[in-house]
Amino acid sequence: MTAAIEAQETGHDVFLVEKEAYIGGRVAGFHRYFPKLCPPYCGLEINFRRIRSGHRYLKLFTQAEVENVSGRAGNFNVSIRLNPRYVHADRCTACGQCSPVCPVDMPSSFNYGMDTTKAIYLPHEMAFPMKYVLDGDACLGDTCNKCVEVCPTEAIDLHMTSRKMDLTVGSIIVATGWSPYDASKIDFLGFGQYPNVINNVMMERLASSNGPTKGDIVRPSDGKAAKRVAFVQCAGSRDVNHLPYCSAICCLSSLKEATYLREQYPDSQAYIFYIDLRATGSYTDFFRRIEKDEGVVLVKGKVAGIEQVPDSHDLIVEADDMLGGRKVRVPVDMVVLATGMVPNFAEKQIPGLDLKRDEYGFALEGQPEGVYISGVTRRPMDVVSSVRDGTGAALKAAAGMGRS
């Protein structure tokens, strides 16, 4: 998003291709972001405004995917599939009359399956664009038709189909970001097995006022206040059997999430089990601030296992307390696994763009001429670095156009 906005502001025509129905990436789902702990929409809204004012140059396509890339620097042909929204965006006023009449409930992907949405829904309360979208697979179609009947602007079209579009462009920026590592692959941590073991992105949604519990940090098993929470660092990271690399932000994100808990329940206790806490540069102050809180207990040691207490669904975290020189068994209400970031295109390449990758699946610099990379596509990084990287990519792309 930053790369597109910056390129647009240099006066170039830009096409921003987003596969979701909204833009903002993973950050759109966070409760707050470090180091200032402000809501992500402070920053996102400024960018949305820049997009609105730059509409002459920047064309945004949501629910869109690149099907093929051919050509070369200065003259790429990019084929794009525009998936159907089933809602005419220009007519949808986001009045919200359609959702309540929809009989279908389906897991909410924005809330990582922790609650449900209707088959026609607003992606989230702050979505940009603020337009409803219908899930064609879940919708009952003409046999139901209820949303079509109540829509006051006749915006819903259950027969909308996907469309193809071909663009000719001079440069391409790949900024496809990341997904959380699948923690169910780590068998001893109980993710997917015990309901009260969640991961760090789920914790972001749990704490968000527009999340599945409207911001109440409660246990998925029974809705009880989760006042004793263990954060397990390097869940799968720095482990040759899972993700051999460090994702750079997981320590900071757990420290941040511990503040959500401490703020909500003054009598709460956060335990952070770590190998070594990584908070470098200006983030050291952030770490120092949270470290002083007596309600945040830092335990240096690898977690060996998690057990569930049969009736209560409480959890026991077993770890080596290296500084105390003993084994500990800590009873908690909920566990948050600090899972790392996996580059999206490690699993799914962009057809026709044979990007070079390092051993972990991140894109390497020096791609085919005219192709630039940005953000977590390159390596794990925080938002500030991603934004800077996006600006750099925009400049390189603009300069490359001048050369070709």
Ligand X SMILES: Cc1cc2nc3c(=O)[nH]c(=O)nc-3n(C[C@H](O)[C@H](O)[C@H](O)COP(=O)(O)OP(=O)(O)OC[C@H]3O[C@@H](n4cnc5c(N)ncnc54)[C@H](O)[C@@H]3O)c2cc1C
Which of these ranges, 13-21, 182-190, 237-245, 303-311, lies near ligand X under the rule CB under 6 A?
A: 13-21
Residues 253/341, Cβ–Cβ less than 8 Å: no
81/302 with CB nearer ligand X: 81
Among 9, 15, 19, 41, binds ligand X (CB under 6 A): 19
- Shortest Cβ 154–ligand X spacing (Å): 29
Residues numbered 307 to 366 that lie near ligand X (CB under 6 A) are: 341, 344
106-112: long-range contacts, CB 8 A cutoff, minimum separation 24: 106/135, 106/138, 108/212, 110/29, 110/205, 111/205, 111/211, 111/212, 112/199, 112/201, 112/202, 112/205
Supply the minimum distance, in Å, between the C-beta of residue 73 and ligand X. 21
Q: Does 236 bind ligand X (CB under 6 A)?
A: no
User: Closest separation between CB of residue 174 and ligand X, Å?
Assistant: 9
- The only residue of 9, 20, 239, 320 in contact with ligand X, by rule CB under 6 A: 20
Give the shortest CB-141-to-ligand X separation in angstroms. 27
Return the number of the residue (159 or 164) whose C-beta is nearest ligand X.
164
Nearer CB in complex with ligand X: 150/167: 167
Contacts of 187 (CB under 8 A, 6+ apart): none
Q: How many residues are listed for the chain in this entry?
A: 404
Rule CB under 6 A: which of 239-258 touch ligand X?
249, 253, 256
Q: How far is the CB of 27 from ligand X (least distance, A)?
A: 5
End-to-end CA distance of the chain: 24
Q: How, if at all, do strands 105-107 and 197-199 pair?
A: unpaired
- In whole angstroms, what is the distance from residue 318 CA to residue 279 CA? 25
Q: What residue is closest to ligand X based on CB? A: 177
Asked if residue 260 binds ligand X (CB under 6 A), the reply is: no
Verify binding: residue 17, ligand X, rule CB under 6 A. yes
> Smallest Cα–Cα separation from 76: which of 13, 168, 174?
168
User: What are the Cα distances from residue 34, in Å, to 150, 296, 360?
Assistant: 42, 17, 26
C-beta of 35 vs 195, nearer to ligand X = 35
113 vs 152 by CB, closer to ligand X? 113
Residue 200 binds to ligand X (criterion: CB under 6 A) = yes
Asked whether position 235 contacts ligand X by CB under 6 A, the answer is no
Q: Is 33 in the site for ligand X (CB under 6 A)?
A: yes
204 is written with which tokens?
């972001």
Q: What is the DSSP letter of 189?
A: G
H-run or E-run covering 256: helix 250-264
- Out of 133, 198, 218, 383, the only residue in the binding site for ligand X (CB under 6 A) is 383
Q: Is 65 among the residues that bind ligand X (CB under 6 A)?
A: yes
Stretch that binds ligand X, among 26-34, 213-221, 269-277, 278-286 (CB under 6 A): 26-34
Residue 178 found at the interface with ligand X (CB under 6 A): yes
- 69, 78, 172, 175: which one binds ligand X (CB under 6 A): 175
Residue 27 within binding range of ligand X, rule CB under 6 A: yes
Structure tokens at 331: 């009873």
Does position 30 interact with ligand X (CB under 6 A)? The reply is yes
- The token pair at 228 is 């004793």
Q: Is 215 exposed, middle or buried (0-12, 13-18, 19+ CB in 10 A)?
A: middle
- The piece of 101-109, 130-138, 353-361, 377-385 that touches ligand X (CB under 6 A) is 377-385
Mind giving me the DSSP string for 36-92? TTB-THHHHHHHHHHHHHTTTTEEEESSEEEEEEEEETTEEEEEEEE---SB-TTT-
**Residue 376 binds ligand X (CB under 6 A):** yes
**∠ Cα 375 275 271 (to 5°):** 95
Binding residues for ligand X, rule CB under 6 A, total 31
* DSSP-derived 3-state class of residue 304: strand
The site for ligand X (CB under 6 A) is made up of: 17-20, 23, 25-27, 30, 33-34, 65, 175-178, 200-201, 204, 249, 253, 256, 341, 344, 375-376, 381-384, 386
